[in-house]
Structure 1
């Protein structure tokens, strides 16, 4: 059985077969356009040739040939030379985009503003991240009192010469005297961990090496740190006593529990409850977790063992704690989620009490501040926040100014000081201080962004997907934007992993709208906008629903005269990069340009690299004979065929992506460049410092976004 034209019948091709293949390549190359034509008069030579080194294998009876497997080795001299050649080719394109300097200048003004994070209260002090307008990184600050002066604690801008090292707040002691923070290079997921004496503004001698951590918490007595660290065997919880050698760190949880072996798919997080009574341990199986087990260790009794709270149920549980009770948001017997109450020690579900029942709107978040429950829900992807007493009686709600996105309420269970943020595509994020006792709200931080929201509008529409499913979509633009079928439109989506795609502020979107462009964001199946049923309708063998929802969104914009295919730009990253791969291989005729960022594209081998195995709980795995066929059917890398006419495509990735291996973008770029029969540019944008996580400098961020916008606008603004 052969999958496509380049499938091989033998594991090691014989010389006669190789000669035929090479002859066919020469004949096909003769039909390829002699010149690449970008938008607005840009011309390029054909993309650099990539050497073909066929590797054939038989998987579940199907013969598959991978011509670019050699590009999986990121460290080989040949791969590095290929990257350099590709970037020079991309730079030769971007240097011809006349509007790029203007884009970078405007982005700088939109991004280089004072920026705050939501504060955390400890001992009357408020800790938060803050970046000044001309700085490249956010640093860590503290205030004495809610209206105190901002004091700099950790200056991230002095941590590296290129200012591509960022910092994060990991934990703070109850009295605010010690701060645990991490630093990470570029966009990597790994961080090194440090402890700061707040009064002295000096680091302690203790630190944890750079690694991927799933939780870091100071012990109540401030004599040690509990942390979960990922290694090849899985994630393991340790206790590190300050001043002691790290080799002596005590294993608290991992490897096995009560005879049940734990492994790489058990992603174990750790944290200490607000009242310092319990060390909570979460075992999330896969990403997204198909099952979350919750354990607790009573820290008032140091010798007490780790005990089960929730175990062995194939559902998700997110607890918050007050006293010896846990209030838990869960989809157990409630696809749209409910809130239950579990007393410590009550492991039998029959003893659990429903506090907030499941409703039509999906519960997306829960927090406990000032002795009250704040429940965040989504009503047709619009944020609603209700306030409940601990007995489940609703006592109020938070009113938001307009259509947009609000964060969960944050704060302490014994404090009346709470915080939340609100934003939308046309409203930069504002952080609010909320008094739980009085209900009074005041602005804690609002960036001075040079953007006039009154000139723009945001609305929500519903369209019909291929199978009749109604799908919501947000559309934003200047007020009175033309609907003549020729306006450049940017269609962004994700569709997976229970991610709720709500309207959030982005300088990228703001710039696009300022040019007169239309921005559209559909809420595809696979997300969590309508609960677990919506998620399941877009995972495993149902993944094609996600793609069909996206294509229907594109067709809606075209049918309703917002734009046409020539002026429609597609953009997505990570799982959304997989979506872009499906767009270019299944319906390339619907788009004028595609930006495919940090993508997952080889669905037959993804589980073999970095943390890819975690995502088999969402996609399945080609190692499974029953799941292999549907993965192969939509895998973008395996659905590129000679002679396909692609729109303009730019793949973006970087060496610091330690989550989705850059090999996906490298291999796909080489393959699409080779097989493309159109004269549109196929580009690879590759940066050594860029990665999946935030963290690059503002200077680098402006440059990367400007490159992306320059490409998309140039290719879709042509008349």
Structure 2
């Protein structure tokens, strides 16, 4: 009996230890009074110091001037005969949704027709609405499903809008706040995945069930088309249009990177037998365009990882395969984007992290590719295509050339400059260099350095190293007026890391940092930091690092693993507690990237880098600046809050700023964006300037 009591006592004690293991877990209660008092206290201390820096007001004013500038590029989205655009400035703080005829846009006319004023709507509803995009009714786009977020989070309210009358439709489709997927099937039917009630969401908080909802009926009467598993990441339905045909597709994402794809055909679901890690990029000339993430061997032929291929859609439905290769990458190239015009494929390629633009024409049962005469030595992104003709828009930018929007025609290969940003800083004073350094395992990791042409290699240059390293997101050269006037013009050096985890060199670059291979990413980042110091571009005293979201995790790992390398850390909307990340908000959806901390074997490798669990006593850490948003419903603000609280209790000084709205982007209005940026630039100059 005594032995049994001892066992029970030990069990109770172990439960108490587990319950007390994370004494900062109360900070995960987003809107609790205690949590918000903690946030308000740290915000106040941070603002008192940083807003009193001698350069803060100038930084704020300059950044606000840039983001409010009338000279910004008006980016197009094409719906039918109109170009639509969402715009924010000092007169439209929350923004206006507007349109003009396509010909008027090309002619650079400035008279826009305002469709929806978000400032007026916010005032009327007494809600801080944030515009989160629309889904239109094909092909005339007289109606739209408008997504509105209360405060900037991913969860949205969906309201149906009449673009002709410029008003929301009484008794139209309406969906309460949720992480909703919705699209028109036809004028009176929508494909919807949302919170239908208990059991309708995945453990990641996204739709588990896809339904067809008829106009004039209650959402409870919607017809269920597909039901996934609780452990799925996301399930959704959408329509691919090709000329006079429409295809209703169901995507069943069981992990962040894998999915089954179904065609809803003759009131039945038909699974398309394509690789579950491949991405569908449209249908053209009855060819299903597919981007491969792994080798695909079929009919005794192997199509390489990272290739673009096509499959005859009619044959695919019948489980017959006639696969055609469109593009095969080299060791130094990867596919960055794929779009379609009325009859042509447009794709852009990264070649050693520099953009190239191609078109593909399907003739005589094969693809013929032509490289287009786009600008060189920068980043190309396809902005908008028009499925009624061969026109498409693309963007070009690099670190020193102002961003420029071009209109091209895929038939005659013409290129017309539509709009370019003004030069907000004198770029002729600066140079861009690309270097490579060997990571710990020998892989050569490229990075860009933007600096003054007169930079002295004496180890004293204030240097900001930026990275992300995850989820197949490449870090590409970009033009930033804010970075130019706030950092370069004051003597700073900017460094962009092309570490593994992104897709700079295709799927292999991403897969080299998944799960148990995660440390490769952090070793890459460390190697770049050490190389910058070895080249005497900077020194640990003058080196700062910055990253957001997964990049916030990156810099969190960087300063806990190698605190000796950095004197400033800007850690934005970060993941930091990698033991509980999968239990917070959308965290479960990222298990395919990081692994599952609830599985002991996987926690073994996760715990080795989890920043929250690797803080040590008596260590000289840099004075970290944590930045997040109360309304971030993707990466929980509890990560930043708990890390800050733990460091404070361990005696380490930190800075902390949490915006009360803004979602995962951190800010909702231009004023908030200017403040967010001015705060971290003030911090960086305070820490890194000689």
Gap change, CA 1:324 and 1:335, over 3 Å in 2? closer
Question: Is 1:187 matched up with 2:187?
Answer: no
Q: Is the 8 A contact 2:287 2:310 kept in 1?
A: no
SS at match of 1:363: strand
Q: Which residue of 1 aligns with 2:120?
A: 158
Of 131, 136, 140, the match for 2:88:
131
Shift of 1:131: 3.4
Matches within 5 A, 1:303-314: 304-310=267-273, 313-314=275-276
Cα separation, 2, equivalents of 1:213 and 1:117: 28
1:48 corresponds in structure 2 to none
For the pair 1:91 / 2:91, whether they are aligned, the reply is no
Equivalent position to 2:472, from 498, 502, 524: 498
Whether the 8 Å CA contact 1:578–1:599 is kept in 2: the answer is: yes
CA deviation after TM superposition for structure 1 residue 600, in Å = 0.7
1:590 aligns with 2:565: yes
1:386/1:397 contact within 8 Å kept: yes
From 156, 161, 165, the equivalent of 1:200 is: 165
The one of 174, 178, 187 equivalent to 2:143 is 178
Counterpart among 76, 79, 88 of residue 119 in structure 1: 76
Q: Is the 8 A contact 1:339 1:356 kept in 2?
A: yes
Q: Are residues 1:236 and 2:202 paired?
A: no
Q: How does 1:511-530 map to 2 (within 5 A)?
A: 511-530=486-505
In the TM superposition, what is the alpha-carbon distance from 1:338 to its structure 2 partner?
2.7
- Write out aligned runs for 1:403-418 (5 A): 403-408=377-382, 410-418=384-392
Does the 8 Å contact 1:197/1:204 carry over to 2?
yes
The answer to whether 1:223 aligns with 2:188 is yes
* Partners of 2:132 and 2:25 in 1: CA distance: 36
Moved more, 156-165 or 91-100: 156-165
Match for residue 261 of structure 2?
A: 294
> Does the 8 Å contact 2:341/2:392 carry over to 1?
yes
Match of 1:665 among 640, 665, 684: 640
Question: Using the alignment, how far apart are the partners of 1:385 and 1:478 within structure 2?
Answer: 30
Structure 1 segment 276-291 matched on structure 2, within 5 A: 276-287=245-256, 289=257, 291=258
- Seen in structure 2, the aligned counterparts of structure 1 residues 122 and 92 have a Cα distance that, compared at 3 Å, is closer
Residue 378 of structure 1: aligned partner: 350
**Secondary structure of 2:104 counterpart:** coil
Distance 1:355 1:484, change over 3 A: same
TM-score w.r.t. structure 1 length? 0.85
Picking from 551, 555, 563, the partner of 2:526 is 551
How large is the Cα RMSD of the aligned pairs? 2.6
The one of 396, 399, 406 aligned to 1:432: 406
Match of 2:659 in 1: 687
Give the distance between the partners of 1:235 and 1:117, measured in 2 at CA.
37
Greater CA deviation, 490-499 or 350-359?
Answer: 350-359
3-state SS, counterpart of residue 239 of structure 1:
strand
Structure 2 counterparts to residues 460-471 of structure 1, below 5 A: 460-471=434-445
CA contact (8 A) 1:55 1:69 kept: no
Give the structure 2 partner of residue 75 of structure 1: 31
Q: CA deviation at 1:307?
A: 1.9
Name the SS for the 2:263 alignment partner. strand
Q: For the Cα contact (< 8 Å) 1:336–1:363, is it kept in 2?
A: yes
- What is the distance in 1 between the residues matched to 2:554 and 2:666? 21
Deviations 1:657-714 (A, max 9, x none): 101111111111111122246xxx4112112113214760001111111111111121
TM-score calculated relative to the size of structure 2: 0.88
Q: CA deviation at 1:68?
A: 1.9
Q: Which region of structure 1 is more displaced relative to structure 2, 696-705 or 74-83?
A: 74-83
Q: CA deviation at 1:345?
A: 5.1
Q: Distance in 2 between matches of 1:270 and 1:117?
A: 30
Q: Which moved more, 1:512-521 or 1:337-346?
A: 337-346
1: distance between equivalents of 2:630 and 2:598? Answer: 27
Is the CA contact 2:285–2:362 (under 8 Å) kept in the aligned structure 1? Answer: no
Is 1:56 aligned to residue 28 of structure 2?
A: no
Other structure's SS at 2:442 match:
coil
372-381 or 405-414: bigger deviation = 405-414
Structure 2 CA distance for partners of 1:166 and 1:78, relative to 1, 3 Å = closer
Number of paired residues? 649
Residue correspondence of structure 1 range 561-572 to structure 2 within 5 A: 561-572=536-547
Q: How far 1:116 sits from its partner (Å)?
A: 4.7
Q: Deviations over 1:536-564 (max 9, x none)?
A: 21111111111111111111111112111
Aligned-pair CA distance for 1:134: 4.5
Structure 1: segments with no counterpart, 5+ residues? 1-8, 15-53, 59-63, 256-261
1:488 aligned residue: 462
Cα 1:182–1:587 shift into 2, 3 Å:
same
Structure 2 unaligned regions, length at least 5: 1-8, 106-110, 296-303
Deviation at 1:415, TM superposition (A): 1.3
Report whether the alignment pairs 1:251 with 2:251: no
Q: 1:412 to 1:89 in 2, by over 3 A?
A: same
**Cα distance in 1 for residues equivalent to 2:387 and 2:362:** 11
Report if the CA contact (8 A) 2:350-2:356 is conserved: yes
C-alpha distance 385-11 of structure 1, shift in aligned 2 (>3 A): farther
